[in-house]
Structures are given as structure tokens and as C-alpha cells.
Amino acid sequence: MAIWQPEPGETLLTRAYVTFATGAAMRVRGMRWFRDPQRNDIQGELPGWPQGPVHTARSTGDTVARNTLKGAAMAVGVAIMAVLSSAGGNVSGSSVHGSGSDTPDDPDDEVYDFPVMWAAPGTVARTLPWQLDPARSPEKHYRTHAIVTDRRLVIVGFPYSKKNDDLIEDEVLWEIPRSGIRHVEAKPFKDGNDVKVVFTDGSWCRLHAITREKFMRYLHQPLDLIPLEALTPGQRNTVENFVASSNAPDAGTPVISRRPCGHYRIEFMRSSRVDSFFGLSENSMLMDAEGAEVSITDYHPDDL
């Protein structure tokens, strides 16, 4: 098993499963495009990329028809549920508050078109690996993970077998130093799992990350990591007790980051537990400035 490891002195921060995103609005559902700033399709210009599907956005009439059918199906479903409920059936639903939204941030890029690469000639986004594209590299055969360290963002890939989910044979596909990333931006439209990564040359990509917060957490700038020896005795005692109580022989050095609200996030990677779907396992907790553990009910959005 060849699991990617950081270089000596480099701090591993997170590892998450990512792919290029997929359109969710009816006009572009199931599709994605690779564009230059003039909205030309550039997938045929990307060096080393195998041929992939050429999509055409659905017409307004087709979109209306599909929405009508979807609405009718939902109405039938509601009627069936009502009949079952009135007949005394045990019918229950669940409503989980998520980070998705039915309102697009940018209709041009989320409703009428759906670029997952925006790149002029010679820019960083054009160097991204084709294995990130589910249409060229189906997830049932191959998986791609993003690894974030204090120095760089790395994309690795490995063959996937459902019969042997724990077998990870990493191949480095692409990497960029942190200085090459301008910012990352959550894209909440529909399921809320998309992230826009903007590079310093203005090119960008839109990725789908099952654990979006995990992927984004340490890519925000500036990265405010705190060495253990810089903590107060009370804070250090909390960190050491947390690691010891976790009973994890494969625990890495704890990563301590100061959140904008003043809390401290304590996290350590489980170096021997890489899941093909969720990435690298970690244990985490939150403490306040005095070293007391913060209850989950007192978490702030930035703590996540």
C-alpha cells in the first residue's frame, strides 16, 4: 500500500475526495464544460486529455417539460404519502438542515452554463488532471483525492475496487504551492458540496467535495497554525489530554489552528486510516482561549 506522505518538516492538514463538479439546474443537469474567458469549449485543447463527451445545454422548452414532469412526480408522491398517512401507516420524513441553496450565486455559470474550468491559454487551471472528470474517469473504477498541507495542494489518484475499499495506491497527478491559490469559495447552489478554487493568475476550477468544509478548512488565507509550545500551560494540557484520550496509536502531531472568532481547533490525522470515499480520518475538538473544551452548541460557523 502506497499512501501519500508529506515531506520531512511538512504538515499534513487534510485529505478529501474531490472531482470536477456536475451541473444541477435542469438546463445543465448532469453536464459540465471546460471554458476559456470567451466561453469557448477548450477540452479538446487540454494536453494529454482523452476524448470526453461534448454536451449541449437543454433548450428552454425541454427544461420546462422536464420541470413539469418532475413537478407531477412530486405531486403523485405527496398524494401517496397522504393516503398512507390517512390509512394509519407509520410514515415519517426527516428534514436535515444542510448548506445547499436553491438560489444560484451566478446564473451564467450555474443555470445557463456550467463551467468547471475557466482558463485562458497558459494558465494554471489548464494543467489540472483529466482524472478529476467523472465522465473520463468514473468513480467506480478510480478515485481522486485532494491533499492539503501547509505548503501545497496535491491531487492524487488511485484505482478503486469495491471489493477492496481499503487498498490505496496513490499516484501524484498534480500539485501547486499554496502561494498559487488566491482564494477558495463555497458554492452552495443545490447540494452545497461545490468549491470554487481561484488561482493567482485568474483561472479557476469548480470541484465537488463530499466533505466541503474539510477540503476548504485549511486553504483559506492566511493559515494561522499555532505550535504546541506557543500555547499556555492550560491550553497545552487540554491538547495533550485530548490526544491521549483518543487512544489512537496512528495519531499524527496535533494541528492547532486559531479560528477568526478566537477559538482553537485541535485536530490530528489518522495516518493509517484512508477511506476511498471520505479521505483521511481525523479526530478534532475545539477549545477556548482558557483551554476549556467548547460545547458543540457554542460552535461558530468559522469553527467548522
pLDDT digits (tens, 9 = 90+) for 227-286: 999 999 999 999 999 988 888 777 778 999 998 889 999 998 876 678 898 898 888 999
pLDDT of residue 162: 86
pLDDT at 101 over 70: yes
Residues 6, 172 contacting (CB under 8 angstroms): no
Query: C-alpha distances in angstroms, 251 versus 84, 139, 247, 280?
Result: 50, 29, 9, 12
Separation of alpha carbons 48 and 57, rounded Å:
26
Where on the phi/psi map is residue 116: left (φ > 0), alpha (ψ -120 to 50), or beta? alpha
Mean per-residue pLDDT for 212-219? 92
Residues contacting residue 286 through CB under 8 Å, at least 6 positions apart: 259, 263, 264, 265, 266, 293, 294, 299, 303
pLDDT of residue 238: 95
pLDDT of residue 61: 55
pLDDT band of residue 23 (cuts 50, 70, 90) is: very high
Nearest to 62 by CA among 22, 32, 29, 24: 29
Mean per-residue pLDDT for 169-180? 97
Report the mean per-residue pLDDT for the chain: 86
Give bridge partners of residue 169 from the DSSP assignment: 2
Residues contacting residue 93 through CB under 8 Å, at least 6 positions apart: none
Domain 12-44+104-216 has CATH 2.30.29: yes
pLDDT of residue 249: 76
CA dihedral 36, 41, 44, 49 (to 10 degrees): 70
pLDDT at 65 over 80: no
On the 0-12 / 13-18 / 19+ scale of CB atoms within 10 A, 286 is buried
Residues contacting residue 68 through CB under 8 Å, at least 6 positions apart: none
Query: C-alpha distances in angstroms, 15 versus 79, 112, 123, 184, 281?
Result: 44, 32, 25, 16, 8
Mean per-residue pLDDT for 16-29? 97
pLDDT band of residue 80 (cuts 50, 70, 90) is: very low
Where does the chain hold its CATH 2.30.29 domain(s)?
A: 12-44+104-216
Separation of alpha carbons 22 and 131, rounded Å:
14
Give bridge partners of residue 145 from the DSSP assignment: 17, 156
pLDDT at 92 over 60: no
Separation of alpha carbons 237 and 217, rounded Å:
25
pLDDT band of residue 76 (cuts 50, 70, 90) is: very low
pLDDT of residue 60: 66
